[in-house]
Amino acid sequence: FKVIALESSADDTCAAIVDNHRNIWSNVIARQNSLHEINNGIHPLHALHAHQRNMARHIILWSATRSLQVKPMVVRKALDDANLTMNDINGVAFTRGPGITGCLTVAANAAKTLAAATAKPLVGVHHMQAHALTAQLTSSSPPEFPFLCLLVSGGHTMIVLATTVWDWKILATSADRAIGSAIDRVVTLLQIPWTELGPGPGLERFCAEPVPDEEVLETPPPIIMPGQLAFSFTGIHSWVERTIHKAGGLQNTPKRAVARAFQESAFQQLTSKLILAFKWCQNHDCHVQNVIVSGGVASNLLLRKRLKDQLAPWSVALDFPDPSLCTDNAVMIGWAAMHRFMAGDHDEYSIGTLPVWSLEDLRNPPPPPAV
Ligand code: ATP
Ligand code: FE
């Protein structure tokens, strides 16, 4: 059973084809980073217009040499790369939510039109469920329920307990901003150059270089709200601001030392709260043997190392999808839709998007926002 999937919930325009035997036939991602780097972040209207161009016409992207390239539209390219036509496709999937209101409509409308025109079943997918289920697509020994998920991305920082594909309990979420958003702001504050993959990989690359001993800074205290299953990232963000201020401006700030201390503190917080979530499961008679770590920030290799080291005593298997499948992609959307297609279940062609949609409401999605 082959599914073509479309994703446009934030800044990447994606199309992919996957099948029920865990084969990835194609994975096309049109990034908008060159557009958003100018604004130091995603500008919703610019993102919407770029999705409209990329999904339906052609993509224009900066290559490694920073020259312009013109490529076929993402849907066409997903079929061409797989050497398939719509006749070979059995179902169409798209990201229904959560995400940026206007952006979501681009993949939704394209998928609905494609499905209706070719009389294929259609499934709308929860973006964060898709980030989490990627591990079941890529892992050599797919994790079995129940498992814990640490989802760390541009809009979310969550620890979730999944007991079935439909039943997810949110154990921890951020009291303020998501870790990815804090990372992106610190990259802007410290004027760290983005890579072609965006601000987060820019921070990772910048922090990979060592700093002289005399410049090393003490890691800002990571234990926020001790004993509580909640994250907070505004504190360490302000610590970066204060450090720049105290140094008398960015030109006098040991930028790499500050970036490394920030990154270390943010990751220490993730590991300490994950351990807390483990204890919660044990106290609630829930025997969890797997932890899935996904979302854009999970592509960071230092975070992977820190989690592996810190969780070593807990006899638990950590599953990280391939870094390229942790950030937004349509492969995960096609895969997350697969269990519904396999059950013979699908949505109406008139289905609406859900910019706000809790992972706890997969069975009963909220009504679409009032017009
Ligand atoms: P959400 O999934 O919450 O809706 P999103 O889809 O915009 O948000 P993702 O693409 O899942 O976000 O993740 C993007 C975030 O991950 C950005 O904040 C980005 O900076 C961060 N990120 C990506 N790669 C890395 C990395 N190597 N190190 C740290 N952060 C990273
Ligand atoms: Fe995402």
User: The whole model's pTM is what?
Assistant: 0.94
CA angle, residues 197, 273, 364, in degrees to nearest 5: 75
Nearest atom (ligand 1) to Cα of 42: 7
- Looking at residue 70, its pLDDT comes to 54
Which ipTM score applies to this complex? 0.99
Pairing of strands 68-72, 91-97: unpaired
Number of H helices, E strands in the chain: 12, 13
For the cut 60, the answer to whether the pLDDT of residue 64 exceeds it is no
Instruction: Tell me the per-residue pLDDT of 200-216, one tens digit each, with 9 for 90 and over.
Output: 999 999 999 998 888 88
Ligand 1 centroid to residue 327 C-alpha, Å:
6
Residue 226 neighbours by CB under 8 Å, 6+ apart: none
pLDDT band at 57 (very low <50, low <70, confident <90, very high): low
Instruction: Tell me the per-residue pLDDT of 1-54, one tens digit each, with 9 for 90 and over.
Output: 999 999 999 989 999 999 999 999 999 999 877 777 777 778 888 889 989 888
347 touches 124 (CB < 8 A): yes
The DSSP string of 60-110 is EEE-TT--EEEEE-HHHHHHHHHT--GGG--EEEEEEESS-HHHHHHHHHH
- In the chain, % of residues over pLDDT 70: 94
- Looking at residue 65, its pLDDT comes to 57
Pairing of strands 230-231, 290-294: unpaired
Residue 316 neighbours by CB under 8 Å, 6+ apart: 278, 288, 289, 290, 291
Secondary structure element (H or E) that encloses residue 301, with its range: helix 301-311
- Looking at residue 50, its pLDDT comes to 87
- Looking at residue 216, its pLDDT comes to 82
For the cut 90, the answer to whether the pLDDT of residue 95 exceeds it is yes
For the cut 60, the answer to whether the pLDDT of residue 196 exceeds it is yes
Ligand 2 centroid to residue 253 C-alpha, Å:
32
- Looking at residue 35, its pLDDT comes to 75
Residue 181 neighbours by CB under 8 Å, 6+ apart: 154, 155, 233
In angstroms, the CA 322 to CA 28 distance is 16
Sheet holding 290-294, edge to edge: 230-231, 168-174, 157-162, 147-152, 290-294, 317-319
C-alpha closest to that of 339 among 129, 170, 148: 129
Three-state DSSP at 147 gives: strand
- Looking at residue 55, its pLDDT comes to 86
State mean pLDDT over 128-146.
93
C-alpha closest to that of 230 among 125, 158, 296: 158
29 touches 329 (CB < 8 A): yes
C-alpha closest to that of 101 among 352, 328, 355: 355
Instruction: Give nearest CA residue, ligand 1 atom 4.
Output: 155
- Looking at residue 265, its pLDDT comes to 94
For the cut 70, the answer to whether the pLDDT of residue 371 exceeds it is no
- In the chain, % of residues over pLDDT 90: 77
> Which ligand is closest in space to the CA of residue 198?
1
Place of tokens 């979501």: 104
Ligand 1 centroid to residue 174 C-alpha, Å:
15
189 touches 241 (CB < 8 A): yes
Residue type, 197: L
In angstroms, the CA 55 to CA 113 distance is 13
For the cut 90, the answer to whether the pLDDT of residue 157 exceeds it is yes
Instruction: Give nearest CA residue, ligand 1 atom 25.
Output: 200
Q: Phi and psi of 273, rounded to 5°?
A: -75, -30
- Looking at residue 233, its pLDDT comes to 95
Ligand 2 centroid to residue 213 C-alpha, Å:
37
State mean pLDDT over 58-70.
54
Give me the helices (H) in 83-215, please.
101-118, 127-138, 179-189, 199-208
Q: Which residues approach ligand 1 with their CB closer than 6 A? A: 9-10, 99, 127, 131, 153-156, 180, 183-184, 198-201, 203-204, 295-297, 299-300, 327-328
